[in-house]
Amino acid sequence: MEHHHPRHRGPSRRSAHRAGTTIGLDEAVDLTRTGDLWLFRGRSAADHAIRVLTNAPVNHVGMAVVLDDLPPLMWHAELGKGLVDVWTGKHQRGVQLHDLRAAVEQWSGRYEQHAWLRQLDVEITPTMEDALLRSIARLDGTPFPSTAALVGRWARGRVRRAAPAELTYCAEVVASSYAAMGLLDADLPSNCYDPGTFWSGDDLELRRGARLGDEIAVEV
């Protein structure tokens, strides 16, 4: 991926959709802007284990990265390596930057997950975009932890104990990126977040006057 100064992808377009609404993937991709969240809930044993252990309604979260000269992208972490990482141009496991549409299709199809979109209501400045790209450069390719490591990592986070930096998982990727952009308290360890933290039922303390909208179900 060529490194350059990003440009904001046009004016923010916010939807009037409310919780309980279902929209198609085309509309969802068109609405998505940098910082918007994509949340997923699956039926596998691993998906269920994550939700039970973290007491969360969802088991995966990713963040949209939408810049003028690039297709909409998904910034997240996963075990699979079926999609090309846009940052490195390689297939890899762990923290990855994917084509957003392809990522949602994979999570909805191959992984059999239900998908929701939450839109972030805040102005994304060039400085915030630069901070996000630095986070991508720093975290891309970081290994995804084993289930046991993930549980211990989350537990330490609940008592505000930072976990080792060499491993990360999906909620930490979003939290670290939000913190770098000034949207979350950078003093809190990233492992105190789980996927459910980014669902509307949790109390996520955003900064810069930012607000996350209701979950919009996406039909793929």
Segment 151-180 shows an average pLDDT of 66
Is the confidence at residue 159, as pLDDT, over 80?
no
pTM of the model as a whole: 0.83
In the predicted model, what is the mean pLDDT of residues 84-101?
A: 94
Fold classification of 22-219 (topology level): endopeptidase fold (from Nostoc punctiforme) (3.90.1720)
What is the rounded CA–CA span in Å between residue 2 and residue 189? 30
- The stretch 184-200 carries a mean pLDDT of 89
Confidence at residue 158, expressed as pLDDT on a 0 to 100 scale = 53
With bands split at pLDDT 50, 70 and 90, how would you rate the model's confidence at 55? confident
Residue 206 pLDDT > 50: yes
The radius of gyration computed from the CA coordinates of the chain, to the nearest angstrom, equals 16
| Chain Cα centroid distance, residue 216 | 15
How high is the pLDDT of residue 51? 79
In which band, very low, low, confident or very high, does the pLDDT at 7 lie, cut at 50, 70 and 90?
very low
- Mean pLDDT for the stretch of residues 180-184: 98
pLDDT at residue 211 tops 90? yes
Domain locations in the chain as residue ranges: 22-219
pLDDT confidence of 145, banded at 50, 70, 90?
Answer: low
Instruction: Enter the tokens of residue 158.
Output: 């609940």
Assign 196 to helix, strand or coil. helix
Region 44-64: mean pLDDT is 83
Distance between CA atoms of residues 191 and 147, nearest Å: 14
pLDDT at 165 over 80: no
Q: Per-residue confidence at 202, pLDDT binned at 50, 70, 90?
A: confident
| 53: pLDDT strictly greater than 80 | no
| Residues 23-32: tens digit of each pLDDT | 999 999 999 9
Residue 73 clears pLDDT 70, i.e. is over it: yes
Distance in angstroms (rounded) separating the CA atoms of residues 190 and 155: 12
Arithmetic mean of pLDDT over the chain: 83
DSSP state of 117: E
Return the percent helix, strand and coil in the chain, to nearest 5: 30, 20, 50
Q: If you ran DSSP here, which 8-state letter would residue 140 be given?
A: T
